[in-house]
């Protein structure tokens, strides 16, 4: 089960005390999605993974930890994200944090946040195009991260497998086919090779649906 509890946190930007709800413990049973979204019950803790100061509107997993320059909260890009009603509120919070993380040079956290924003869109009816936009943002920064010799998952091959799902679910099927073909020719663990081949088949069918690792695993 998941346990949550209230906590008072002082905002690292403006010093305001905020009452938030945090995760005490959780668990995950079953197969995760191909983009690494965990199964229940951890799957349903997105709202407790990001918080917003009710005064200055700073967004972060930990409000007490300040990232980015002070003037960024008043800048147009940050304000535009929070005013973007095409995104669900939870997705806006993750995207706002992604923006701050990127401006501070923390590309790994920015990729994480954009992917979580996509999940928040997935959970909202009628937000498919917004989810695609969040996945495209995650992909762009994932490529930048790799160009620096870094990775989201601490393994470039695993990141490449993640990238296939981000591409396919944002409708970039031709790119999936090209990248999956390259991966399938590499000396990969059986499960990763099976996922690459599965993504090829789904992309060839222009399928943008959510699938789990168990759907791609060999019988």
Q: For residue range 157-179, what is the model confidence (pLDDT) as tens digits? A: 999 999 999 999 999 999 999 99
Region 117-131 average pLDDT: 98
Q: What is the pLDDT of residue 186?
A: 87
3-class DSSP string for 117-163:
HHHHHHCCCCCHHHHHHHHHHHHHHHHHHHHCCCCCCCCHHHHHHHH
- Burial (Cβ within 10 Å: 0-12, 13-18, ≥19) of residue 109: buried
pLDDT at residue 219 greater than cutoff 70 = no
Q: What is the 8-class DSSP label of residue 9?
A: E
Handedness of CA 84, 88, 121, 99 (dihedral sign): positive
Q: For residue range 31-85, what is the model confidence (pLDDT) as tens digits? A: 999 999 999 999 999 999 999 999 999 999 999 999 988 889 999 999 999 999 9
> Cα(130)–Cα(117) distance, rounded to whole angstroms?
9
Please answer whether residues 63 and 53 qualify as being in contact, where contact means their C-beta atoms are separated by less than 8 angstroms: yes
pLDDT at residue 213 greater than cutoff 90 = yes
- β-pairing, 17-25 vs 51-52, is unpaired
* β-bridge mates for residue 5, sequence order: 22
Name the pTM for this structure. 0.96
Region 172-193 average pLDDT: 92
Region 18-25 average pLDDT: 97
Give Cβ neighbours of residue 210 (< 8 Å, ≥ 6 apart): 33, 34, 122, 169
Please answer whether residues 10 and 51 qualify as being in contact, where contact means their C-beta atoms are separated by less than 8 angstroms: no
Q: What is the pLDDT of residue 218?
A: 76
Region 151-162 average pLDDT: 94
Q: Which candidate, 210, 130, 138, places its Cα nearest to that of 168? A: 210
Q: Is 219 helix (H, G, I), strand (E, B) or coil?
A: coil
Comparing 184 with 88, which gets the higher pLDDT? 88
> Quick one: what percent of the chain has pLDDT higher than 70?
100
Region 130-153 average pLDDT: 96
Q: What integer best gives the mean pLDDT of the chain? A: 96
Residues constituting the chain: 219
């Amino acid at each position: 089960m998941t346990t949550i509890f209230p906590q008072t946190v002082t905002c690292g930007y403006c010093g305001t005390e905020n009452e938030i709800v945090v995760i005490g413990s959780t668990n995950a049973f079953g197969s995760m999605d191909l983009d690494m979204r965990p199964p229940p019950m951890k799957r349903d803790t997105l709202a407790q993974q990001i918080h917003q100061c009710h005064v200055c509107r700073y967004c972060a997993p930990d409000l007490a930890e300040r990232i980015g320059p002070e003037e960024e909260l008043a800048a147009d890009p940050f304000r535009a994200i929070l005013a973007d009603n095409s995104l669900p509120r939870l997705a806006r919070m993750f995207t706002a944090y992604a923006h701050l993380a990127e401006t501070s040079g923390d590309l790994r956290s920015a990729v994480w946040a954009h992917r979580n924003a996509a999940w928040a869109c997935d959970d909202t009816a009628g937000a498919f195009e917004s989810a695609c936009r969040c996945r495209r943002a995650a992909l762009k920064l994932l490529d930048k991260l790799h160009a620096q010799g870094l990775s989201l998952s601490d393994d470039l091959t695993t990141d490449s497998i993640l990238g296939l799902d981000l591409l396919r679910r944002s409708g970039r099927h031709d790119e999936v086919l090209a990248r999956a073909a390259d991966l399938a020719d590499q000396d990969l663990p059986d499960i990763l090779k099976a996922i690459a081949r599965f993504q090829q088949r789904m992309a060839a069918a222009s399928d943008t649906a959510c699938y789990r690792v168990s759907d791609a695993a060999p019988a």
